[in-house]
Amino acid sequence: MKTKILVFAMLVSAGITMASEKSEKFKVYGNCGMCEERIEAAAKEVKGVTAADWNKETKMIEVSFDESKTDVHKVHIAIANAGHDTNMHKANDEDYAKLHGCCQYERAQKIQQKGGTHQGHKHEEEHSSCTMPKKASASGSCCGK
């Protein structure tokens, strides 16, 4: 009887663990194998990320993570901090400039507000490189985080 209870408890525990596991795919700009190593390492450094696989041909990364420990937004930020633009966050120019020459991909143009200003839009520190459309949400942030 104790064995049955133990097996049941292990199955329930595994089910709960699997329920919080999430997988997301998104675009990350880069060129080569060095980029792949850097991008995947940056994603895996985020607490809660269990796997990261970037495809240099499609420029897409698939990231698996525990939703109770992190979210995809934090993964975008970590990758941008490593010098690689994502479809949510743009790396700052200093981090991009540190990339090896073969890793410096062609960057998309920065999104500019009508009239070229950023008035009426505030960024929190962690959103300084956000590339989401510049519409302030109720929180005052560009991407609602």
How far, in Å, CA of 86 to CA of 54, rounded? 12
Question: What is the CATH code of the structural domain delimited by 20-106+125-145?
Answer: 3.30.70.100
Between residues 113 and 37, which one has the greater pLDDT? 37
What per-residue confidence (pLDDT) applies to 138?
Answer: 44
> Which residues have CB under 8 Å from 79's CB, separation 6+?
28, 39, 42, 43, 61, 86, 89
pLDDT of residue 73: 97
How many residues are listed for the chain in this entry?
145
Residue 7 has pLDDT above 80, yes or no: no
CA 54 to centroid of chain Cα atoms: 12
| pLDDT band, residue 108 (cuts 50/70/90) | confident
Domain spans in the chain, listed from the N-terminal domain onward = 20-106+125-145
Distance CA 62, CA 54 (A): 6
Cut 0.75: pTM above it: no
